[in-house]
């Protein structure tokens, strides 16, 4: 068993016990082909939560600072994370993400770019839209309904896949596409409240 699968199993049990995680809409994640899961971001636990509840293995971008120590870098790479320089165009990270999608894999993104301190949905950055229009991936909007409180229910909802073909054909801007994705995440959150 790979480290990724082992970690997914162990962390999945821990999160489900500690936060009574309820997963809704798992059937909405396509079983094959490139997929981008786009979620709101309310906690440092969000990447592991999405990673263990999704039906597919997910690759995540992580801030470059986390890769500065050799042992942590090696661990993160085995857990399907790769570095991105925040606040600037990181062509290596962009190429790596597009390569992951070209190979038919799943990319996990938090379009807000950083955690929301208030728990409210923030504005999405253009990155999610960039990957959506530059790849053949379906976008699966995802809403994490918190807060993370020990032994209190936590819900993660996967919405229906968004077909990006019309956006691609109309040459929509990355920001327009991100706004559409954020709107779908907002609708998922509102339906659960």
Angle between helices 127-134 and 174-192 (to 10 degrees): 110
Cα distance between residue 89 and residue 95, in whole Å: 11
Cα distance between residue 41 and residue 96, in whole Å: 22
Q: What is the pLDDT of residues 25-58, one digit of tens each?
A: 999 999 999 999 999 999 999 999 999 999 999 9
Rounded to 5 degrees, φ, ψ at 41 are -135, 105
Residue 17 structural domain: 3-192
pLDDT of residue 180: 97
Only one residue has tokens 């659960």, namely 192
Number of structural domains, the chain?
1
Only one residue has tokens 């109309």, namely 170
Cα distance between residue 38 and residue 123, in whole Å: 13
Question: What distances in angstroms separate CA 131 from CA 65, 73, 113, 128, 182, one per listed residue?
Answer: 23, 24, 14, 5, 14
Task: Sort strands 58-63 and 138-145 into parallel, antiparallel or unpaired.
Answer: unpaired
pLDDT of residue 140: 98
Q: What is the mean pLDDT of the chain?
A: 93
pLDDT of residue 172: 93
pLDDT of residue 149: 94
pLDDT tier, 88 (very low <50, low <70, confident <90, very high otherwise): low
pLDDT of residue 170: 92
Task: Sort strands 81-84 and 58-63 into parallel, antiparallel or unpaired.
Answer: parallel
User: Which CATH number characterizes residue 107's domain?
Assistant: 3.40.1130.10
């Amino acid at each position: 068993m790979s480290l990724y699968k082992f970690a997914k199993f162990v962390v999945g049990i821990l999160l489900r016990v500690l936060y009574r995680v309820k997963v809704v809409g798992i059937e909405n994640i396509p079983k094959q082909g490139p997929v981008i899961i786009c979620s709101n971001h309310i906690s440092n636990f969000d990447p592991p939560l999405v990673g263990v509840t999704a039906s597919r293995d997910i690759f995540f971008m992580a801030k470059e600072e986390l890769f500065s120590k050799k042992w942590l870098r090696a661990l993160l790479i085995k857990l399907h994370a790769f570095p991105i320089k925040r606040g600037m165009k990181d062509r290596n990270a962009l190429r790596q993400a597009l390569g992951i999608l070209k190979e038919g894999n799943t990319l996990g993104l938090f379009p807000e770019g950083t955690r929301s301190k208030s728990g409210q949905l923030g504005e999405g950055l253009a990155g999610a839209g960039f990957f959506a229009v530059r790849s053949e991936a379906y976008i699966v909007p995802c809403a994490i309904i918190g807060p993370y409180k020990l032994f209190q229910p936590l819900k993660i909802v996967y919405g229906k896949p968004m077909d990006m073909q019309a956006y691609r054909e109309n040459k929509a801007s990355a920001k327009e596409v991100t706004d559409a994705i954020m709107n779908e995440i907002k609708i998922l959150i509102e339906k659960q409240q």
